[in-house]
Structure 1
Amino acid sequence: MAPDTAARRNTDSAAHHDFRAARDHLLAARGDLDAAHAFPRPTGEHFNWALDWFDTEAAGNDATALRVVDLDADGTLLGESALSFAELSARSDRTAGWLRERGVARGDRILLLLGNQVALWEVMLAAIKLGAVVIPASTLLTPDDLADRLTRGRVRHVIAESALTANFAQLDGDWTRTAVGAPVPGWTDYADAAAHTGGFTPDGPTRADDPLLLYFTSGTTSSPKLVQHTHRSYPVGHLSTMYWIGLRPGDVHLNVSSPGWAKHAWSNFFAPWNAGAEILIVNQPRFSARPLLDALVRHRVTSFCAPPTVWRMLLLEDLEQWRPPLRELVGAGEPLNPEVVERIERAWGVALRDGYGQTETTAQIGNTPGQPVKPGSMGRPLPGYQVTLVDPVTGEEITGTGVDGELCLPLVSAPLGLMTGYQDDPERHAESMAGGRYHTGDVAQRDADGYYTFVGRADDVFKSSDYRLSPFELESVLIEHPAVAEAAVVPSPDPLRLSVPKAYVILAPGHEPDAATARSILAFTRKRLAPYKRIRRLEFADLPKTISGKIRRIELRGRERERHGEAEPLAARPRGEREFWEEDFPGLKDA
């Protein structure tokens, strides 16, 4: 161990001790949720998770921390990388030292545009050590999305896959450019970091409440919300996520999630390494159930997390053909259908447990290991969280059962993983924290046993697959088409994706509500929206409005549930008189 590293760890032993005490209490309280709630919270003024926890636990630790498996479209192995905790500690030290020489300083914002590759974990650890602030970004973002993040995120540095650097070609700014992969003219080659020999010593202690992560998340306005987390709220906060998943030291944990979204940090970074578990990544060019199931067996996966869309796709296979040594199965991102839960347990003999959280928090509610699972329920509040239901009209707390109310977190209880707020949006922040509570914007019910069941969003934002979409953002693109006078986007039920974006459109004069116009609009939006945001259904129809002229999306959502919410095959579902789906236009992808 280098002398500076040894000194750093000795100095930070109190922070490590406090975090370990909390972690070990939760591990020991498996199956006893009441005992878990009594865990000792780390409350020190200073904390740097990469230095105080990861590096200390990694010292001399040759256990595998990260394994990245790359498959082709047929499931054939293309390559595999495996790194121990000790190796990642050393590599992230080199990366941190190299980035500092490149000008990355404490508090600088780094836009991170990487897929599931080793560099992502190296940079994350290095950024935490430096005290820099990471803005994770999806590889699916368009140049317009990136421009918004560069500007509102006040980005000083960009680290991106070489193949994605073209998206920045027309974007100006005084930010450094680092490419991961093949050399790119005008971009520094990330490969140079591996040769750095200068060592790394932190620039003093990190305050636990210093900013660490900024997430852009869709809202009901044109601009995504910018959620800020600290060195305390996410690393420490994800002790709740570790407990919900049921992770233990030495586990092999596989989570299906894309980089750039909060769930990736939940289950592909903090929660597994809080527990001392191995993170397994299975990269596929396009999701295919069989290769993923093969990987569960081959790599002896013990805990597996996936969104309901993936669970539904896995159920298309005969799961009893695969017998991985699974102990924990969890789902998050959208509600789990009770039938899915029951079928998974019949196939594998392991309970599939639902959970709930947000980008603004860590896991708040969950069906925890060793406790009865109620299919259809999200479970009960997790360690570090108190949850209440509030009447959205009166603002009064709901004490009874079976009554709809907004999920809220009392601020007096200091929610473990709650964000510090929405950056540069004091009005929205004040609304979210009104009345001494954090308002999730989600509606739920509570039963007599304290289990919560998700009802729906309090606003118009909806989930498609595992992605949260803002109608306003999609409508803003639609009305740029010359044929569209007005539009409203709502979720339309879908058997695979839970829902897909559907546009109700009022045409501008001179345009006909026919297949040619529908195709033109769908092709137009397809070129301007990331794949997960695409409009997939469209109907030419009048828009229901309030007396003040506001569109009643709730009425349109109800219309979609009545029309497409039944279980019959998709092709047999009734359509509106002037309704068109992307499936009607086989050549649309080439438009």
Structure 2
Amino acid sequence: MSGQDDAYREFRAARDLLLHHADDQDAARAAFKWPRPRWFNWAIDWFDRIAEGNDRVALRIVGQGELTFQELSRRSDRVAGWLLSQGVRRGEVVMLLMDNRIELWELMLALIKIRAVVAPAFITISPEELRTRIGRAGARHVIADHRIVPGLAVDGLVDGLQAKIIVGGEHEGWTGFANSEGHEGGYVPEGPTEADEPLFYYFTSGSTARPKLVVHTHVSYAIGHLASMYWNGLKPGDVHLNVSAPAWAKYPWSSLFGPWNAEATVVSMDSADATPQRLLEVLRSGTVTSFCAPPSIWRALIRTGLPDGLPGLRHAVSVGEPLMGDVVEQVRKLAGVTVRNGFGQSEVTAMAGVTASSPAAPVSMGYPLPGYELVVVKPGTDEPAQEGELCLDLSNGPVGMMRGYLDPEDNATSHTPGGLYRTGDLARWDSDGSLVCLGRRKDVFEGPDGVPIAPLELEHVLVLHPAVAELSVVPVSEGTALLPKAYVVLSAGWNASRATAEVLFAYQREQLPALKLVRFVEFVDGLPRTESGKVQREAVRLLRRSRNVEYTAELPTAQA
């Protein structure tokens, strides 16, 4: 056990160093060194260690119940032994279609222990897409929520899979997860786990046509999320509520590795229960000390009615897509907390973020987190720049970086000529050394005067007008030129009219240079989103353009 003992001590030392420097990011960055164990199984070498004799609550599912660290450790051992009895083996891919229920965390820990590869998918996935993902991932087994199993049992969708396990119910041809409760065989680990063994297959968000398949190892997520823990500001005894489905890479960030690395309590809700009203009830209870949600959820909470103050809440963070200033200001005004932005990807854990003690603007990307070196380069090169493509320097071997994409063709374009990892985002260094996100590189287009137009920059301006609840700016063709158009969801009390459009046009002329002005506005009831809540810009671009409901800005004479 000496190898595993060393891994535990090295991991704990790195974790404790980050906790010690929780209020000094510069000191944390200077002192932090990634643990690099040869063998590491987070569920065995970390979770089981901190769970021994630990009767503090590890997991609370609102409306379902709670489990202590020790209870989860023991139950996951039983589930691990039962999964082996069902034929699930080390290295085999398990397609996981689950919502947030207690069994999910038992299964996650158990699958990590037996060294299976977990490939999560949304429970709302279409049969066609699931068939594609089963094939791309090479899945051998499936574990699914009882509510979707009838749909999976048609058209031979999962007939070729070995173990078919149903959670929360029964169905012919499927094995009930409830049977695991009677398993008495126990669980003995099959030797030490190599640190670079694959553990997770995560599909990217799907905001583009073809999601990439990301491979993470037993260390890249488990150890890599020490940085995510640091950004969140979590510490032992905290109670952390996260809004995320298991198929979104935000789940291991904030519902698994991040909080349990800190020995905090995870609080979660089934997606059907996670309404704005129900979330506010939980937040008002005063039991939650930290809350993470994407911007779309923060907006929903604002519309529903944030209370004056949220007792007990120390940390409020957001990730998934850029955080806008209107959300920060409204939450600060209504609830008395500052929502902080973070930046990461399915491919990497949190790389940059606004920590609780950071002087950076809450809507910025903040500063690089401990263990990460970020650089801005001229697009397509390795030449440093003040503004350009954001890349991750791999020279120090950041542990939180994926092992790679499963499909070789995706790896071919993921690095610069000099070996930097391309995030695909554009950014600039601010005067205080923090990073400002300018949006995805693929979203930036060239205006008729040759000026690059970043839709996110225009959105950050227009969303601050009280008429705008949310919006998306995309290029539209006008003759041979590309011009910016805003699809706007209006705030309550504003009418979709020429008068409102003129108000927005006048406002932007005060805030933006003439060459970057939005030329067209169309008011819509909502914006297309991915399962994880991100605006689907590709879908927005494909919205049918109607001159009947589109308002055109009158340009200054010099620009007409």
Please classify the TM superposition score into its range, dividing by the shorter chain length.
0.7 to 0.9
| Per-residue Cα deviation, 1:487-532 (whole angstroms, up to 9, x for no partner) | xxxxx999556549x9x9xxxxxxxxxxxxxxxxxxxxxxxxxxxx
8 Å CA contact retained: 2:286, 2:312: no
Match of 1:297 among 277, 284, 288: 284
2:296 counterpart of 1:309: yes
Letter in 2 for 1:34: D
Structure-to-structure mapping, 1:334-483, within 5 angstroms: 334-398=321-385, 400=386, 404-425=387-408, 427-434=409-416, 435-460=418-443
Match of 1:60 among 53, 57, 60: 53
Q: State the 1:265 CA deviation.
A: 1.2
Q: State the 1:257 CA deviation.
A: 1.3
| Per-residue Cα deviation, 1:547-571 (whole angstroms, up to 9, x for no partner) | xxxxx9xx3xx4323x649979473
Q: TM-score, normalised by structure 2?
A: 0.80
Letter in 1 for 2:37: G
8 Å CA contact retained: 2:142, 2:161: no
Query: Using a 3 Å threshold, how does the CA distance of structure 1 residues 299 and 27 change in structure 2: closer, same or farther?
Result: same
8 Å CA contact retained: 1:309, 1:498: no
| Per-residue Cα deviation, 1:443-490 (whole angstroms, up to 9, x for no partner) | 1111122111111111249xxxxxxxxxxxxxxxxxxxxxxxxxxxxx
Letter in 1 for 2:410: R
Q: Hey, what's the Cα distance between the residues in 1 that align with 2:489 and 2:60? A: 40
**2:39 corresponds to which residue?**
46
8 Å CA contact retained: 2:324, 2:363: yes
Query: Using a 3 Å threshold, how does the CA distance of structure 1 residues 544 and 211 change in structure 2: closer, same or farther?
Result: farther
- Report the secondary structure of 2:311's partner residue: coil
Query: Using a 3 Å threshold, how does the CA distance of structure 1 residues 67 and 565 change in structure 2: closer, same or farther?
Result: closer
Q: State the 1:264 CA deviation.
A: 1.1
2:132 counterpart of 1:148: yes
Q: Hey, what's the Cα distance between the residues in 2 that align with 1:152 and 1:56? A: 35
**2:98 corresponds to which residue?**
114
Match of 1:277 among 259, 264, 281: 264
- In structure 2, the gaps of 5 or more residues are 445-461, 503-518, 527-560
8 Å CA contact retained: 1:252, 1:279: yes
- Report the secondary structure of 2:123's partner residue: coil
Q: Hey, what's the Cα distance between the residues in 2 that align with 1:212 and 1:499? A: 36
Q: Mean alpha-carbon deviation: is it higher for 266-275 or for 37-46?
A: 37-46
Aligned-residue identity in percent: 47
- Report the secondary structure of 2:59's partner residue: strand
Match of 1:126 among 110, 114, 138: 110
2:495 counterpart of 1:560: no
Q: Hey, what's the Cα distance between the residues in 1 that align with 2:32 and 2:271? A: 39
Q: State the 1:345 CA deviation.
A: 2.2
| Per-residue Cα deviation, 1:174-215 (whole angstroms, up to 9, x for no partner) | 332100011110000100111111111111100111100001
Query: Using a 3 Å threshold, how does the CA distance of structure 1 residues 352 and 222 change in structure 2: closer, same or farther?
Result: closer
Q: Hey, what's the Cα distance between the residues in 1 that align with 2:6 and 2:198? A: 21
8 Å CA contact retained: 1:442, 1:456: yes
8 Å CA contact retained: 1:142, 1:167: no
Q: Hey, what's the Cα distance between the residues in 2 that align with 1:256 and 1:498? A: 22
Q: Hey, what's the Cα distance between the residues in 1 that align with 2:124 and 2:95? A: 14
8 Å CA contact retained: 1:208, 1:230: yes
Structure-to-structure mapping, 1:152-191, within 5 angstroms: 152-168=136-152, 169-170=154-155, 171=157, 172-191=159-178
8 Å CA contact retained: 2:328, 2:362: yes
Q: Mean alpha-carbon deviation: is it higher for 416-425 or for 178-187?
A: 416-425
**2:15 corresponds to which residue?**
23
Q: Hey, what's the Cα distance between the residues in 1 that align with 2:231 and 2:520? A: 47
8 Å CA contact retained: 1:139, 1:259: no
Count of aligned pairs between the two proteins: 483
Letter in 2 for 1:64: V
Q: Hey, what's the Cα distance between the residues in 2 that align with 1:298 and 1:319? A: 13
- Report the secondary structure of 2:376's partner residue: strand
8 Å CA contact retained: 1:432, 1:439: yes
Q: Hey, what's the Cα distance between the residues in 2 that align with 1:381 and 1:579? A: 37
8 Å CA contact retained: 1:220, 1:460: no
8 Å CA contact retained: 2:484, 2:520: no
| Per-residue Cα deviation, 1:151-190 (whole angstroms, up to 9, x for no partner) | 0110011000111112322114233210001111000010
